[in-house]
């Protein structure tokens, strides 16, 4: 099962919006086949592993990190392949969190005489935290990524933010875009930085990433990189319901999708935004900027994970703060996080954090 989990990691930056899955076929104590799910529309891990094992799959054991599918999508059901090849035993790391699944594949296999074991190991669910979150909540998993100086500044006083961190950290950010399948910025970042927001210079061709802009007043320029590349890479702009329609028509003519969104207390309704992205099957959103946008997700309890890249630099009294929007009156009100990992990335340090669950529930509610 450890090997199956390792194989699943091969799809980390190519499988979105599908889950990561790895599979191993074992016959008489020896591995005879392996496979993983590389990208949406491609063969599933179980099929690749069983095909690589050939006739040895008859009477063998199949170890798979996630429950096999039993429905027709872009590929046939994996359960059909498992039964056709004569596998005797299936060991699953975790049930599929999709409400349409949740063990139904395993019931079919048991009814057909296949021995089934479910480990229910939390490590396997953590590996698919984005997919599991979408299946359970209908909203994509929100991963906030920020590049900051040691004193918590994401830009110089004049707004310049290129480049806070070094090349290795920027390359990691491109991987995080590919993993999530969608990247989100606020209107200010869209105007000031004119970003492209696509994953680039990666070892393997990533899936198409949806670029999302929160733009209440619909200020995105028709000459921006986002607008000029909308036909090749999707761009979704959430604008206030009262935003000017003339600009919306111009952007739509370039391939930009403009979605009217309700405004709550002067700001776009982030729950509406996430639910709309969830309806599109987007499993994860990487929130890249700026500090006000990141602060809104954190302050409203909608951030599921944070990655902070600390550069060995200081900006002193000036500069744009790491997060904005929300204020706390005392230390007791401050959102709290659990440090998951600390890693040196080139010349910078990456800190991965998860909100404490009790704080997340309180702030979201």
- Write the pLDDT tens digit of every residue in 81-107: 999 999 999 999 999 888 878 778 999
Q: State the average pLDDT over residues 200-209.
A: 88
> Do the beta carbons of residue 61 and residue 91 sit within 8 Å?
yes
User: Is pLDDT at 110 greater than 70 in this prediction?
Assistant: yes
- Write the pLDDT tens digit of every residue in 149-199: 998 888 777 666 678 899 999 999 999 999 999 999 999 888 888 999 999
Is 275 assigned a catalytic role?
no
User: Is pLDDT at 206 greater than 80 in this prediction?
Assistant: yes
State the pLDDT at residue 87: 95
State the pLDDT at residue 246: 83
Of the pLDDT bands very low, low, confident and very high (cuts 50, 70, 90), residue 363 is low
| Architecture of the structural domain at 138-364 | 3-Layer(aba) Sandwich (3.40)
Mean pLDDT of the chain: 90
Q: State the average pLDDT over residues 248-270.
A: 92
- Write the pLDDT tens digit of every residue in 40-79: 989 999 999 999 999 999 999 999 999 998 876 677 889 9
Catalytic residue among 6, 34, 46, 288: 46
Q: How many Å separate Cα 42 from the centre of its chain?
A: 19
Q: Domain boundaries in the chain?
A: 2-127, 138-364
3-state secondary structure the chain: CHHHHHHHHHHCCCCCCCCCCEEEEEECCEEEEEEECCCCCCCCHHHHHHHHHHHHHCCCEEEECCCCCCCCCCCCCHHHHHHHHCCCEEEECCCCCCCCCCCHHHHHHHHCCCEEEECCCHHHHHHCHHHHHHHHHCCCEEEEEEEEECCCEEECCCCCCCCCCCHHHHHHHHHHHHHHCEEEEEHHHHHHCCCCCCCCCCCCCCCCCEEEEECCCCCCCCCCHHHHCCCCCCEEEEEECCCCHHHHHHHHHCCCEEEEECEECCEECHHHHHHHHHHCCCCEEEEEECHHHHHHHHHCCCCCEEEEEEECCCCCCCCEECCCCCCCCCHHHCCCEEEEEEEEECCEEEEEEEECHHHHHHHHC
State the pLDDT at residue 102: 74
> Do the beta carbons of residue 237 and residue 216 sit within 8 Å?
no
Percent of the chain with pLDDT over 90: 72
Residue 219 burial by Cβ neighbours in a 10 Å radius (0-12, 13-18, 19+):
middle
User: Is pLDDT at 271 greater than 70 in this prediction?
Assistant: yes
State the pLDDT at residue 153: 87
pTM equals: 0.91
User: Is pLDDT at 283 greater than 80 in this prediction?
Assistant: yes
State the pLDDT at residue 158: 65
2-127 topology per CATH = Cytidine Deaminase; domain 2 (3.40.140)
- Write the pLDDT tens digit of every residue in 115-151: 999 998 899 999 999 999 999 999 999 999 999 999 8
Of the pLDDT bands very low, low, confident and very high (cuts 50, 70, 90), residue 336 is very high
Best mean pLDDT range from 155-164, 263-272, 313-322: 263-272
Lowest mean pLDDT among 101-110, 226-235, 279-288: 101-110
Of the pLDDT bands very low, low, confident and very high (cuts 50, 70, 90), residue 234 is very high
């Amino acid at each position: 099962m450890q090997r199956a989990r390792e194989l699943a990691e091969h799809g980390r930056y190519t499988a979105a919006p599908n889950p990561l899955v790895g599979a191993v076929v074992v016959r008489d104590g020896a591995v005879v086949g392996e496979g993983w799910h590389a990208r949406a529309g491609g063969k599933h891990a179980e099929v690749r592993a069983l095909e690589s094992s050939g006739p040895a799959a008859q009477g063998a054991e199949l170890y798979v990190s996630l429950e096999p599918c039993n429905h027709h999508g872009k590929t046939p059901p994996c359960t059909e392949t498992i039964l056709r090849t004569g596998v005797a035993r299936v060991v699953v790391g975790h049930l599929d969190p999709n409400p349409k699944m949740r063990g139904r594949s395993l019931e079919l296999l048991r009814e057909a005489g296949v021995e089934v074991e479910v480990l229910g190991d939390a490590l396997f669910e953590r590996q698919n935290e984005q997919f599991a979150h979408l299946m359970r909540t209908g909203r994509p998993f929100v991963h906030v990524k920020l590049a900051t100086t040691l004193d918590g500044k994401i830009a110089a006083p004049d707004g310049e933010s290129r480049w806070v961190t070094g090349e290795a950290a920027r390359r990691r950010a491109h991987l995080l875009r590919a993993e999530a399948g969608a990247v989100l910025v606020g209107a200010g970042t869209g105007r000031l930085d004119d970003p492209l927001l696509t994953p680039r210079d990666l070892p393997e061709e990533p899936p198409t990433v949806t670029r999302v802009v929160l733009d209440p007043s619909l200020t995105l320029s028709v000459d921006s990189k986002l607008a000029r590349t909308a036909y090749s890479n999707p761009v979704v702009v959430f604008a206030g319901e009262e935003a000017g329609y003339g600009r919306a028509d111009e952007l739509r003519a370039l391939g930009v999708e403009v979605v009217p969104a309700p405004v709550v207390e002067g700001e776009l309704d982030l729950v509406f935004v996430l639910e709309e992205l969830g309806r599109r099957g987007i499993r994860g959103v990487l929130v890249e900027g700026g500090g006000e946008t990141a602060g809104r997700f954190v302050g409203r309890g909608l951030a599921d994970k944070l990655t902070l890249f600390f550069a060995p630099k200081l900006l002193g009294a000036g500069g744009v703060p790491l997060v904005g929007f929300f204020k706390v009156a005392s230390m007791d009100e401050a959102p709290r996080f659990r440090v998951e990992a600390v890693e040196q990335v080139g010349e910078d340090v990456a800190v991965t954090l998860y909100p404490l669950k009790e704080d997340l529930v309180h702030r979201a509610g």
